[in-house]
Amino acid sequence: MQDTSGRSPTTPLYVGLVITLVAVVAYSFSVTRGIDSLRELQKNLIDRNRRDSLQLLRIQNELNSIGMSMRDMLDVDANDMGQKYPLTAWQAQFDRMRGDLEDAFHRERQVSPQDRTPDQQQYLEASLAQFWDAMNRNFELARIGQEAEARAQIRLSLQARLAALSNAVARLLVQNNEVEERAAVQVSKIYDHVQRQAYFFLIGTLMAIALTSLFLIHSNRQLFNRLEALSAQRSELAQTLISTQESTLRYISRELHDEFGQILTAVGAMIGRARSHAPENSPLRTELLEVREIAQNTLEKVRSLSQALHPVMLDEAGLESTIEWYLPVVERQTGIGISYEKSGTPFPVHGDSAVHIYRVLQEALNNVARHSGSKKAHVRLRFANSVLELEIADSGTGFSDLPTRRGLGLVAMRERAELLGGTIRFEPAPGGGTLVKLEVPRETVSRETQEMHA
């Protein structure tokens, strides 16, 4: 009876597959979010902060240029008499620097960081506007002849305003550096988080693979154990069926040979005696002769059927003599020419071993007659030191050209080979057709022969 207690591993494997897919999707989503946040941080904070720092450095350079020009404006003499170079002559240069500085402020305003407060931006713009207003007033004083007062205002007020403006820009640069440092820390945290997730996912994947592999190994082991048990049951059933078949055939063969044979022999004898009492030219004498011939033919058919079911020669003379008797019978019945070759030093083969080997030969020759379409067959019996080899070859249709559905003959041949502890192979013959090769250990044959004689 088949064991149905084992459950199929398909459902747990599907569950494991779904869990793995969910884990992969979750991990991919998490990594994608981390990469998106990193890209957003790179785009909206780090890159923008660096562009703003470049503009602030440009502003700082412009402010430094303005400061140097203011010092030159105050210190450079116009001639050897000690008169200063007039302030109004510097206005064109300062107007040009003002344009460059305002362009730099405009560009900086476009890329200013999002975390900068409006007060800081307003203070920067207001300081710049106040500086240029004061510078314009000083140039106006110089034009109306109050150059000394204008120079004094530059020393007392404008240089201080420029220094305050430079300090404000420097603070913004420091603030940008601090933001970049914090962004670098955030980037490092994101990388660490993604790395930890990768490790966790790798560990989880390896654990899932290990658990799945263990489950598969366990399921396969259970499956193989069940297959082994079923194979053992099948082999036991096959042995029982074969033993029952041989017992039944042996019984029927003996009954045909002994009972029906004796009855037909007695009938023939009685008909012979009755015929001797009939007149010489009587029609009854002729009819009794015909009946006697029918009884004799029936007796021969019964004996032939008895030999076909279970040759008595197997029990009396052994396998070798039975094969030598059987092959001519097959030739007469099927019209197939059989060449027989025997080699090696013969040793006795009796009992069940002889029966199984004979049945393999019988089934193979039946297949030649029914399926191969060949009119020639070759049988080789080889007695080796360690094995007994039996080969049956034909030159007809091979296995590849046979119908898909086949009978139980091949299965029975394999089962008989297993019962003998041997092997059987079905191969293409060298010249075309099919080769059946049976190998039986000599130890098995000798042991059964000794047990039978014991």
Domain 314-453 falls under CATH 3.30.565.10? yes
> Model pTM greater than 0.75?
no
Q: What is the pLDDT of residue 80?
A: 38
Low-confidence ranges of the chain (pLDDT < 70): 1-9, 13, 34, 37-45, 76-85, 398-408, 447-454
Q: What is the pLDDT of residue 382?
A: 92
Q: Is 128 exposed, middle or buried (0-12, 13-18, 19+ CB in 10 A)?
A: buried
Each residue's pLDDT tens digit, 17-36: 777 777 777 777 777 776 77
Q: What is the pLDDT of residue 454?
A: 54
Fold match between domain 10-215 and domain 314-453: no
Integer CA distances (angstroms), 370 to 220, 367, 374, 375, in order: 41, 5, 9, 11
Topology classification of domain 10-215: Four Helix Bundle (Hemerythrin (Met), subunit A) (1.20.120)
Q: CA 264, CA 284: separation in Å to the nearest integer?
A: 20
Of residues 206, 224, 294, 205, the one with CA closest to residue 27: 205
CB distance 36 to 231 below 8 Å? no
CB distance 101 to 63 below 8 Å? yes
Q: What is the pLDDT of residue 45?
A: 66
CB distance 337 to 331 below 8 Å? yes
Q: Write down the domain spans for the chain.
A: 10-215, 314-453
Q: What is the pLDDT of residue 398?
A: 65
CB distance 159 to 136 below 8 Å? no
Q: Is residue 419 within a helix (H) or strand (E), and if so which, with residue range?
A: helix 409-419
Integer CA distances (angstroms), 121 to 20, 110, 135, 367, in order: 53, 11, 21, 104
**AA identity, residue 303:** R
Q: What is the pLDDT of residue 403?
A: 44
